[in-house]
Amino acid sequence: MDNNTTPVLQLTGICKRFAGIVALNDVSLSVRAGEVMALIGENGAGKSTLVKTLTGIYRPDEGMIELAGQPIRFANAQDAMRAGVTAVHQETVMFDELTVAENIYVGRQPCKGATGRIDWSKIEAKAEKLFARLEVSLPVRARVKDLSVAQRHFVEIARALSQDARVVILDEPTASLSQREIHELYRIIGQLRAAGTAIIFITHKFDEIFAVADRYTVLRDGQFIAEGAIADVTEQDLVALMVGRTVKQAYPKADVTPGEVLLEVKNLCHPTEFDDVSFSLRRGEILGFYGLVGAGRSEVMHAIFGLSSAARGTVRLDGKEICVSCASDAIKHGIAYVPEDRQHQGAHLSLPIMQNITLPILSRVGFFLRGRRAQETAIARHYAEQLELKAAHLTQNVSELSGGNQQKVVLGKWLATNPKVIILDEPTKGIDIGSKAAVHRFIGELVSKGLSVILVSSELPEVMGLADRIVVMHQGRIEHTYNRADATPENIVAAASGCALPVEECV
């Protein structure tokens, strides 16, 4: 790739402000044909604002956008798409009831001659050619609601190709994918690169950056920090550029000796999701749950929190059997659950930070009492400060926050209930290294105060770094429970794969 060629897309001096808040300040960026450029930064660094500016959702207050060397201004998202700039987001936005082919060509359906009728057979034939080009087997008549997350991403990529996209922005595309699906995405990225498409790749996972990217651009606090070739930097270099400091201890383990058994689960079963699940959780303990996609970890947590009416089994808290038939029962008994899907299950995006945090404790705060606002503000400020929440003010809507800060709001909301047990389901999924470090530190503080934590994570270093014991699930059953001293990556992955021996002995 010739670095002297004119960039397909170039930004110079981009600034964007919202009600006096500077979201982007003098940001510059460029990406060339056939290049993968990693856009790197902590949550709140300005990546989302920049993507919205590139795709016509926002208009920059200052600066210039050039496409193939020519200045251009996007009036709206349709303008950007017509110009060949499109984005594939972590949370795909499509019409669930329409077919794959209909979603690809929605708003651009070819018609039959002068009749004006949509040519459905042509739409399906063109969609099939796109997937053949991607070497992906996907039925074009399938409804999008029936697709996996990975398949939805492939539909979005096919839609971009159908518009002859010159620049494709992949925004956290692997956050919900299995390893096999991630490697399939890598293959498709290679095809796009070979075809001369310029790719902006946004991820918080360094292994992905070094696997697919040619160059990097780092943002911090809305400002351009650095750019260069991936071959010339290390992971530690990028971390220092992102956070403005080195991260010496990624998983700070609190020095806490777990106490007596607080929560005991026996013979928990579900007709289709899991079977005979039994475990205990001690006071002040972090109990990790690890497993491959489909192992049943989240489904077990749903049952404990009263979200699965079909589940049967015994749950004892503080030595007493409790009945948890709904979420309010769990909250009443002192069990809190931070779900994996923060946007749809964890937070009310259209409500302010303050109201989100106090939502589960309205009965304590009061609905119309004098002084309610001051009490709400005090509670929200307490947890915002503890979690190092980055926001303009506590009345800012959660939808305006970055993913990592949305997750902190969800954590604050459940901690405000003063639980005895908190279940964290993928608490650092899709958030940057700085936000992860803040969440990890806070988990350590929680157990230091006697709280018990169940940590469900797909990231092996995270669960090994933080947990006192690790429960490994495979196909809906507990395969093994490891003490911290006995846990190795080999035996944990072996158990998660249904292998009784270390990986190298199971081949």
Helix (H) or strand (E) holding 123: helix 120-134
Task: Give a three-class secondary structure readout of 381-418.
Answer: HHHHHHCCCCCCCCCCEHHHCCHHHHHHHHHHHHHCCC
Residues 6+ apart with CB under 8 A from 231: none
pTM of the model: 0.58
User: How many whole angstroms separate alpha carbon 400 and alpha carbon 19?
Assistant: 13
pLDDT in tens, 240-264: 887 675 444 556 677 788 899 999 9
pLDDT greater at residue 499 or residue 230: 230
DSSP state for residue 7 in the 8-state scheme: P
Mean pLDDT, residues 132-139 taken together: 83
pLDDT score of 207: 84
Residue ranges of alpha helices (H) inside 267-402 are 297-304, 327-333, 353-358, 362-365, 372-386
User: How many whole angstroms separate alpha carbon 193 and alpha carbon 55?
Assistant: 20
Instruction: Tell me: pLDDT of 319 over 80.
Output: yes
pLDDT score of 251: 67
Please, which pLDDT band fits residue 4 given cuts at 50, 70 and 90? low
User: How many whole angstroms separate alpha carbon 221 and alpha carbon 438?
Assistant: 16
pLDDT score of 504: 40
pLDDT score of 265: 96
pLDDT in tens, 392-407: 888 888 888 877 788 7
Closest alpha carbon to 25 in 183, 220, 184 = 220
pLDDT greater at residue 1 or residue 445: 445
Tokens matching residue 402: 């970055």
pLDDT greater at residue 348 or residue 229: 229
pLDDT score of 285: 95
DSSP state for residue 484 in the 8-state scheme: G
pLDDT greater at residue 350 or residue 245: 350
Q: Residues of the chain with pLDDT > 70: what percent?
A: 88
Under DSSP, is residue 28 helix (H, G, I), strand (E, B) or coil? Answer: strand
Place of tokens 């020095």: 255
Q: Which domains does the chain have, with CATH numbers?
A: 9-243 (3.40.50.300), 250-334+419-507 (3.40.50.300), 348-417 (no CATH)
Instruction: Tell me: pLDDT of 376 over 70.
Output: yes
User: How many whole angstroms separate alpha carbon 259 and alpha carbon 279?
Assistant: 15
Amino acid at 22: V
Mean pLDDT, residues 170-188 taken together: 79
pLDDT score of 247: 44
User: How many whole angstroms separate alpha carbon 156 and alpha carbon 127?
Assistant: 12
Mean pLDDT of the chain: 84
Contact of 134 with 157, CB cutoff 8 Å: yes
Tokens matching residue 365: 């705060």
Amino acid at 337: Y
Q: What is the CA radius of gyration of the chain?
A: 24
Residues shown for the chain: 507
pLDDT score of 218: 93
User: How many whole angstroms separate alpha carbon 441 and alpha carbon 248?
Assistant: 13
pLDDT score of 92: 63
Angle between helices 403-415 and 433-448 in degrees, nearest 10: 10
pLDDT score of 252: 67
